[in-house]
Amino acid sequence: MGNIVGQIVAVWEVDNILADRQNGFRKNKGCEEPMLQVLNTLEEAEEAGTEFQGSSWDIKRAFASVS
């Protein structure tokens, strides 16, 4: 399964399908930059007195079990 996923991701990279901000499961992409963006947005919302809404998705185990 890992080989298939690797081939799919390689095609996505070559065809430039993924957005630049998509960091999950990509080579040479860490979580530091996205985390800094979230922190900066939170700080700006607090300073401006506005709300910040977001979502975080952990799909690592999305298909680990079937009910």
Handedness of CA 14, 15, 18, 19 (dihedral sign): positive
pTM: 0.48
CA distances from 47 to 42, 50, 62 (A): 9, 8, 36
pLDDT digits (tens, 9 = 90+) for 7-64: 888 898 899 888 887 777 677 887 888 889 889 999 999 999 998 888 877 666 666 6
Residues 67 and 53: their CA atoms lie apart, in Å, by 31
pLDDT of residue 67: 62
Q: Is the pLDDT of residue 6 over 80?
A: yes
pLDDT of residue 49: 95
Q: Are 28 and 36 in contact (CB under 8 A)?
A: no
pLDDT digits (tens, 9 = 90+) for 14-30: 998 888 877 776 778 87
